[in-house]
Amino acid sequence: MELSLTPASTSSGKSGKAVRSQARAIIFSVYQYVKGLKDGGILGKNVIVREETAKATSVSLSTVNKVIAEGNKALQETGSPAFITPKKPRGRPPTLECDEFSEAAIRHKISEFYIVKKQLPTLRSLVVALREDEVIDCGRNFLTKRLHKLGFNWKKCQSSRKILVERPEIVNWRLRYLDAMKEFRAQGRYVVYLDETYVNESHHAQNCWQSPEERGALSRIGKGNRLIIVHGGGELGFVSNALLIFKASSRSGDYHTSMNFDNFSKWLKEKFLPNLPSHSVIVLDNAAYHNVQTNRKPSAASLKNDVATWLRNNGIQFDESETKAQLICKVKEADVPKTYRIDKIINEAGHDVLHLPPYHPDLNPIEMVWGDLKGELARTSVGTPLGVKEEHLRRLFDAYTADKWKKVCEHVMNTEIKYMTNDHILDDRVDHMIISLAGSSPDGSSDESDFYSSDDE
């Protein structure tokens, strides 16, 4: 005798709640029971076992399928069905983003505390100021790590208080760069800024470095196919015939692939340097392929023979009987200036090179040019494929005038003057605060957690 099951009211099974292990075992038992009825001829041939199981247990068919797969697998592996409660999916907290342009704004905010407000910056006051100025909304722990990355440290002064200071080597790098730039400008040398950027296929308005006059935020680079853009320019505009745009996924044997030293130097020699005014000054950032050394110091991972060869080539005396560890110590003590392969190529073409100090995009006008161009691209090519974006980018580069370049270069020159002025004022201001703090009572100072924190807020 065949039976047919009467449809029962079912739940959608889409409540979003996990079906726990005990309930999963019951679902599997119901499935086995219904299947046994059908196999024994008690249920009609038209009865679909899985659907009847879903109706009987008031769960979705997809849940039944998952439970059956889990139960059958356990039967094969252990001889008995076993179930576990699925773990609740926990999304990762959103990553707080702070690009190099926000980092430059943090540096300026610290100077503002010392020079304009004449106040000692604390973590608490910096967090509030950065949030109010819409630079970044972060907690003290995040800011502590970011300050360390930027080269700032908390140093105890003559009182129990800590004072925020920038690492001397970064300050020195910036001052050397500014002094050299001032000298080149006084000589009437033409300064050209070289940089690389990229545009994603889904490029849209969100955030990017941009000129002060450019309203709205621009898009950060997303995932997927992208275009690599390499170019340079100065007050006279972009360097003629030097624009390079290529797809990052390209695999040709030329430099139309991912950018590295070989590809960059090829572009530099063939497209960029031949089109520069004579005796120019080229400004580079700190991309890895800009800083490939010609006389790199060996490390502890180098062969002893290579370490000895380096010492010999640099005129440093050593005894052949010395161990590798002793030779490495001589390498570390050697006062051998760093020289770079890219610098050599540029110098041989009759130009000079300046390397920007790290985390200083505000000293590079081409960063603002990128912002202008990407902003216009985002506004006028939403949803277009990468090939169309490339065509549009080329038109935007052609239309970008020398007047616009001159404007952003003037903005950077004003920033240079501001740095040169503030760096010297800052010395006096910090010394004055150290003296003031030394004469004040620690009992009246701010809570220690204002200065540094192990807990993010």
pLDDT tens, position by position, 364-390: 999 999 989 988 888 887 778 888 888
CA distance 204 to 380: 10
Could you state, in order of their start, the residue ranges of all structural domains in the chain?
1-88, 96-166, 185-294+339-418
Strand partners, 200: 226
Q: Which helix (H) or strand (E) holds 286?
A: none
Looking at residue 256, its pLDDT comes to 39
Give the global pTM: 0.69
Alpha carbons 426 and 356: distance in angstroms, whole number: 21
Same fold, 96-166 and 185-294+339-418: no
pLDDT given at position 215: 37
Question: How many Å separate Cα 436 from the centre of its chain?
Answer: 39
Domain 96-166 is in which class?
mainly alpha
* Cα distances (Å, whole numbers) of residue 331 to 111, 304, 325: 38, 12, 10
Assigned token pair, 436: 């003031």
Tell me the two tokens of residue 456: 């993010």
Q: Dig out the tokens for 186 from the structure.
A: 């006084």
Distances (CA, A) of 414 to 178, 324, 363, 408, 421: 12, 50, 10, 10, 11
Q: Tell me if the domain spanning 185-294+339-418 has CATH number 2.40.160.40.
A: no
On whether the CB atoms of residues 390 and 155 are closer than 8 A, the answer is no
The alpha carbon of 286 is separated from its chain's Cα centroid by a whole number of angstroms, namely 14
The string of DSSP letters for 347-358 reads: HHTT-EEEEPPT
Q: Tell me how crowded residue 367 is: count the other CB atoms within 10 A of its CB.
A: 24
CA angle 167, 171, 174 (to 5 degrees): 145
Helix (H, G, I), strand (E, B) or coil at 156: strand
Cα-Cα-Cα-Cα torsion 127, 132, 136, 142, nearest 10 degrees, comes to: 10
For the beta carbon of residue 393, count every other beta carbon within 10 angstroms.
Answer: 21
Q: What are the percentages of helix, strand and coil residues in the chain, rounded to 5?
A: 50, 10, 40
Question: Cα separation of 374 and 140, whole Å?
Answer: 32
Total residues found in the chain within this entry: 457
Query: Which residue shows structure tokens 């020195």?
Result: 172
pLDDT of 191: 98
Looking at residue 444, its pLDDT comes to 41
Confidence at residue 399, expressed as pLDDT on a 0 to 100 scale: 94
Q: At what angle do helices 324-333 and 304-313 cross, to 10 degrees?
A: 40
Q: Could you list the pLDDT tens digit for every one of the 457 residues in the chain? A: 445 554 444 444 445 677 888 888 888 888 888 888 888 788 877 888 888 888 888 888 888 898 888 888 877 777 777 777 777 666 665 667 777 788 888 999 999 998 898 888 989 999 999 999 888 888 889 999 999 989 898 888 766 678 888 999 999 999 999 999 999 999 999 999 999 988 887 655 554 444 444 433 333 444 567 888 999 999 999 999 999 998 875 444 333 346 788 889 999 999 999 999 999 999 999 888 888 888 888 888 889 899 999 899 998 898 988 898 999 998 898 888 888 999 999 999 999 999 999 889 999 999 999 989 988 888 887 778 888 888 999 999 999 999 999 999 999 999 999 999 888 888 777 777 776 666 554 444 444 444 444 443 4
- Looking at the DSSP assignment, which residues form a beta bridge with residue 162? 156
User: What is residue 174's three-state secondary structure?
Assistant: helix
